[in-house]
Structure 1
Amino acid sequence: MEPNDTVSPTRRPRGRTALIIVAAALLGISGGTAVGYGIQAQRPPTPLPALAQPGLGYPAKALPADKAAAPLPASEDRQVKMDGDLRKLLVERPKGAKASPDHPREGGEWQRLSDYTREFEDERSMFLFLAENDVRRIAVTAWMQGPYRQSDVTLVQFRSSARMGAADHFDGQLSYMPEAEGGAGNTGDPIAGTGEGRYFLYAVEREPGYQPFHRARALAVRGDIMIDINITDVKPISKKDIRVLAERQLERL
């Protein structure tokens, strides 16, 4: 080192002695690892502890063909029913009821998405929501009982996908029902046999000179189908009327 050369105070010079020490350390680590693997390889295998489960939950051999469970018939297979003609799953028109001018075909008919969404205040948002959630098809039936009472039953079916279309549509409609028709806190009543299905009754206030307006609505989900039932009349609608109609429709699904 020349007299005028200086060494950086932040970095130590690495001489021959330092390199020998590093090489010895690496050799010691490698050697120790090799010896450890050798000792472990010579030891006898340690048996695993016994399983806590005493036995398997299924038979060791397949059941004979004559004892195997038969597949569900189409009449009992719900998915087969729902993949068929959706109109055939609509509730039948009651005896004595007449065709509705809106949906005159007996036995139900197909409804276009654009026609269905026109029934909502914000039809554009509803159209986009249903399209994005893979709506598959819509079937509807309707009838008149007396001069003013009309009943409409709509089945909105969604495609099987990652989206929960029927459940999402149901949740969206159910969320505003307590405040619908100018009401406040109308929580409705549960529909038996459904998880969260409910039905609601409303008496809508009208201006003087207009006939009173009463409405009942039932909402439920069965698989990939959202059920939407409405009854309108100038006379009060009983809970039994809307509840029984909802139960009859659910039985067909």
Structure 2
Amino acid sequence: MPAEPPSAAVAPAVTAVPTATAVPAVPDSPVRRRPRGRTTLLIAAAALLGIAGGAAVGYGIQAGRAPTPLEALSQPGLGYPAEPLPADKVPGPLPVAQDRQVRTDGDLRKLLIDRPKGAGKAEPGLRTDDGWITLDTYALTFKSENYMFETLAGDDFRRTASASWQQGKYRQTLVNLVQFRSAALLGAEAYFSGQLAYMPSDREGAGNEGDPIEGSGEGRYFVYGVERKAGYLPSYKARALARRGDIVLDIHIYDTVPISKKDIRKLAERQLERL
């Protein structure tokens, strides 16, 4: 009899060999990093200690040395004599014509221009009996009376000499020489510059830049626009401002008819000649 075929093929057992890539991954251990800035701080601290130590050592060395003697302060050929000059060689004082301070420290009223021929006394509001105007009275000539009083006092106001007159029926002229205790920034210069600064304003000043007064440096004269008010005559005004040392020249003309530039300019030039 033929032999029976095998009922099923039995596969031999094979053992699986793992490949190299089959090794499980192991997570990396954390790397410990040096804190930031520690090295920089150490270097800066060392540098600071080095500077401080060097300064201390240098100071100690210098303190131990003998002081270096200074050179003699005497200078040959000084500008003043070693002994007083003889009485016959002492130079005399400047004449009054050349010493401006002598003139302005005297009676300031003598430097005011003369009243024009035919002119009469001004209105009581502008007239002075003795030619002097006090600080509070001069401040009344401005719209902001309190502010001007404080400004003048702060600028070291000294005194004001004044002259006034009337020409015709309505023209009134007022000339003021306002003197301060210095010509510097706290004094005449401060007041003069402040007045010039607001004059171009339409609200408080003339509303224009004005015109320069020849030979006065920064002096200027202004002609205002007409002011009209119901029931009153039209009002015209002109003003001139200039400075000579510690004196500020302040001239006003009031009228009911237009005032020419020539009128205010000539008046300012005449007064400057007297200063």
Unaligned stretches of 5+ residues in structure 1: 1-10, 12-25, 31-55
The counterpart of 1:128, out of the listed 124, 135, 150, is 150
| Equivalent residues in 2 for 1:38-57, closer than 5 Å | none
Q: Tell whether 2:173 aligns with 1:151.
A: yes
What TM-score results when the alignment is normalised by the length of structure 1? 0.69
Please say if residues 99 and 105 of structure 1, whose CA atoms lie closer than 8 Å, have aligned partners that are also in contact: no
* Aligned mates of 1:226, 1:180 — CA distance in 2: 23
Partner of 1:251 in structure 2?
Answer: 273
The counterpart of 2:224, out of the listed 196, 202, 208, is 202
* Aligned mates of 2:226, 2:203 — CA distance in 1: 6
Partner of 1:50 in structure 2?
Answer: none
The counterpart of 2:199, out of the listed 177, 184, 188, is 177
Deviates more, 1:218-227 or 1:180-189: 180-189
| Equivalent residues in 2 for 1:160-175, closer than 5 Å | 160=182, 163-175=185-197
The counterpart of 2:252, out of the listed 209, 222, 230, is 230
The counterpart of 2:264, out of the listed 221, 230, 242, is 242
| Equivalent residues in 2 for 1:81-92, closer than 5 Å | 81-92=103-114
Identity of aligned pairs, percent?
Answer: 57
* Aligned mates of 1:85, 1:60 — CA distance in 2: 37
Equivalenced residues, count: 212
Equivalent position SS for 1:251: helix
* Aligned mates of 1:59, 1:161 — CA distance in 2: 29
* Aligned mates of 1:206, 1:249 — CA distance in 2: 31
Q: Structure 2 counterpart of 1:86, which letter?
A: L
Partner of 1:39 in structure 2?
Answer: none
* Aligned mates of 2:122, 2:150 — CA distance in 1: 28
Change (3 A) 1:234 1:185: closer
Shift of 1:238: 1.2
* Aligned mates of 2:154, 2:175 — CA distance in 1: 23
Q: Structure 2 counterpart of 1:80, which letter?
A: V
